[in-house]
Amino acid sequence: MTYLVVGGGGREHAIIRKLKESPQVSQIYCAPGNGGIAADAQCVPIKATDIEGMVGFAKEHAVDFVVVAPDDPLVLGMVDALEAAGIRSFGPNRAAAEFEGNKAFSKEFMKKYHIPTADYEIFSDPASAVSYLREKNQFPAVIKASGLALGKGVIIAQNMEEAEAAVKTIMEDKIFGASGDQVVIEEFLTGPEVTVLAFSDGHTVCPMVSSMDHKRALDGDQGLNTGGMGTIAPSPLYTAEIHERCMKEIFLPTVQAMTAEGRPFKGCLYFGLMLTPNGPKVIEYNCRFGDPEAQVVLPLLKTDLAEIMDAVYEERLAEMEITFLSGSAACIIMASGGYPQSYQTGYPISGLDRNGQLKNATVYHAGTRCEGGFYVTSGGRVLGVTALGDDLPQALANSYRAVKGIFFTGAHYRRDIGKRALEESKG
Ligand code: AMP
Ligand code: GLY
């Protein structure tokens, strides 16, 4: 079968590498892809959000199955358009993608179905948001743009001054555009964060191994929020006991309620969880694989991903037995100097072979171009270097060893991925 993977980052590279292991996959296109992905798939220059272009390409090239990986085409309804054209795909339709695209909506949903989450209020005008914050006078306060904001729409205000500034930038200056028409103001939760990705076909939910992202740019969780600087899987803090509770209080109720709401979720559902002293709570739902969570979860997946995607599409996930390797995985993101603010690109990358890989690790390309067989940087997050190990310390040692073999001007990576989780799990 011929596959088309929509997107062009490290997550898409991880999906493609896993699909390539399947005997039923004979050809993979990726749109738009990137320099490193081109070693594993045929890249086509169509923007990930170009729904018409994507459907047209899929029809012309007799694509059998489309995997829509990023949030924006899902929220825009790419899966609906593919369905209308009679093309099989993986990912939620527009109605189900609203669980990520509209935070006000997902908060109301969680309240209605008693799914544990931070207490909150929703506001459509800045003056009432500010007077609520003043009245509550509880800091830190969490202020979120309701719509999609490239993972940057959450501001944690330490005092009233910062809170007012946050409301102003989101709702009046509109730095996230219409995504800031509404804000959600919520209670500040504490505890370790865990991500659980789960396959869902609207009836059955199959959680994958847990993972943990590191969102801040610098060591010690300092610096600005980024798309994610590194991941580990599984999280040593996510115990069997917590899992059982999440299954009962969060995962099953969410999938059942989505279906009850007439928005059955088919695809990969991302549960962003906070393990608070009062039990696990949902910070956010995303409607897709996490990036860079996919870069540690998928390498541990033993079951054929293409078969799972078929089962999700045909709503027979209950028949699947999905298994994972028992070891651990760690992914270190190598970013351009300056990311997530301004940075230079076009620097040659040394240490990689002709396929953009190196021995004893897997290099997922996020922001690279290939020029005459050599790789150069082309984005903020450049590479995700993943290695496995029998346990987490070993996986981390293996991936850091691999990172040391790669060089480009200004390369920046965190040296403490997984450190806090390891410390906290030892108590
Ligand atoms: P999100 O874009 O929803 O993933 O939020 C970005 C980050 O903000 C999360 O990973 C958390 O670290 C933090 N965050 C979001 N909501 C809360 C909350 N209610 N309490 C504490 N931290 C939060
Ligand atoms: N790594 C966070 C996300 O994909 O949303």
Which residue, 104, 350, 385, 120, is CA-closest to 231? 385
pLDDT of 336 reads 98
**Ligand 2 center–CA 151 separation, angstroms:** 7
Q: What pLDDT is attached to residue 225?
A: 87
Distance 283 CA to ligand 1 centre (A): 6
**Is any atom of ligand 1 closer than 6 Å to the C-beta of 189?**
yes
The CA-CA-CA angle for residues 334, 335, 338, to 5°, reads 150
Q: Looking at the CA of 381, which ligand is closest?
A: 2
pLDDT grade for 153, boundaries at 50, 70 and 90: confident
Nearest-Å Rg of the Cα atoms of the chain is 21
pLDDT of residue 27: 98
Sort 257 into a burial class: Cβ within 10 Å, 0-12 / 13-18 / 19+.
Answer: middle
Mean per-residue pLDDT of the chain: 96
Ligand nearest to the CA of 231: 2
Q: What is the mean pLDDT of residues 53-70?
A: 98
What pLDDT is attached to residue 290?
98
Q: How high is the pLDDT of residue 426?
A: 87
Location of structure tokens 């293996």? 398
- Among all bound ligands, the one having the nearest atom to the CA of 149 is 1
Q: Which of 41, 2, 7, 3 is nearest to 288 (CA)?
A: 7
pTM of the shown model:
0.96
- For the chain, what's the residue count? 427
Tens digit of each residue's pLDDT (9 = 90 or more) over 83-106: 999 999 999 999 999 999 899 999
3-state secondary structure the chain: CEEEEEECCHHHHHHHHHHCCCCCCCEEEEEECCCCHHHCCEECCCCCCCHHHHHHHHHHCCCCEEEECCHHHHHHCHHHHHHHCCCEEECCCHHHHHHHHCHHHHHHHHHHCCCCECCEEEECCHHHHHHHHHHHCCCCEEEEECCCCCCCCEEEECCHHHHHHHHHHHHHCCCCHHHHCCEEEECCCCCCEEEEEEEEECCCEEECCCEEECCEEEHHHEEEECCCCEEEECCCCCCHHHHHHHHHHHHHHHHHHHHHCCCCCEEEEEEEEEEECCEEEEEEEECCCCCCCHHHHHHHECCCHHHHHHHHHCCCHHHCCCCECCCEEEEEEEECCCCCCCCCCCCECECCCCCCCECCEEEEECCEEEECCEEEECCCEEEEEEEEECCHHHHHHHHHHHHCCCECCCCECCCCCCHHHHHHHCC
Is any atom of ligand 1 closer than 6 Å to the C-beta of 133? no
Task: Check if 291 has its Cβ closer than 6 Å to any atom of ligand 2.
Answer: yes
- pLDDT tens-digit readout, 235-264: 999 999 999 999 999 999 999 999 999 999
Q: Is the pLDDT of residue 190 over 80?
A: yes
The CATH 3.40.50.20 domain(s) of the chain lie at 2-94
Asked whether residue 152 carries a pLDDT value surpassing 80, the answer given is: no
**Rounded CA gap, 254 and 240, in Å?**
20
Q: What fold is seen in the domain 2-94?
A: Rossmann fold (3.40.50)
Mean pLDDT throughout 350-379? 96
Cβ of 272 less than 6 Å from ligand 1 = yes
- pLDDT score recorded for residue 219: 98
pLDDT given at position 246: 98
Nearest CA to ligand 1 atom 8: 154
User: Does residue 42 register a pLDDT over 80?
Assistant: yes
| pLDDT tens per residue, range 274-324 | 999 999 999 999 999 999 999 999 999 999 999 999 999 999 999 999 999
Query: pLDDT tens-digit profile of 399-414?
Result: 999 999 999 999 999 9
The sheet with strand 362-365 has its strands ordered as 212-213, 230-233, 328-335, 381-389, 362-365
Closest CA to 192 of 276, 86, 279: 276
Fold of 119-187: Dna Ligase; domain 1 (3.30.1490)
In the prediction, which pLDDT does 399 show?
Answer: 98
Could you tell me if 383 and 368 are in contact, meaning their C-beta atoms sit under 8 angstroms apart?
Answer: yes
Reported as a pLDDT band with limits 50, 70 and 90, residue 148 is confident
57 lines ligand 1 (CB under 6 A): no
Residue among 38, 5, 15 nearest 291 (CA)? 15
Burial 22-60 (b: 16+ CB within 10 A, else e): beebeebbbbbbbbbbbbbbebeebebebbeebbebbee
Token pair listed for 48 = 């990930």
Torsion angle, CA of 98/99/102/103, rounded to 10 degrees? 180
Give the model's confidence band at 351: pLDDT under 50 very low, under 70 low, under 90 confident, else very high: very high
What pLDDT shows up at residue 247?
A: 98
How much of the chain, in percent, has pLDDT values that exceed 90? 96
Nearest CA to ligand 2 atom 4: 290
9 Cβ below 6 A of ligand 2: no
Per-residue pLDDT at 427? 72
Smallest Cα–Cα separation from 404: which of 341, 337, 332, 340? 332
d(CA 124, CA 319): 44
CATH 3.30.1490.20 residue ranges for the chain: 119-187
100 CB near ligand 2 (under 6 Å): no
Q: CA geometry: angle at 191 spanning 206 and 10, to 5°?
A: 50
The response to whether residue 226 sits with its C-beta less than 6 Å from ligand 2 reads no
Ligand that comes closest to the CA of residue 117: 1
For residue range 63-73, what is the model confidence (pLDDT) as tens digits? Answer: 999 999 999 99
Residue nearest atom 5 in ligand 2 by C-alpha distance: 290
213 lines ligand 1 (CB under 6 A): no
Nearest to 362 by CA among 112, 36, 23: 36
Q: What's the gap in Å between 372 CA and the centre of ligand 2? A: 32
With a 6 Å cutoff on the Cβ, whether 151 touches ligand 1 is yes
What is the C-alpha separation between 103 and 312, in angstroms, rounded?
25
Among 117, 122, 146, 156, say which to mutate for ligand 1: greatest number of ligand atoms within 8 Å of CB: 156
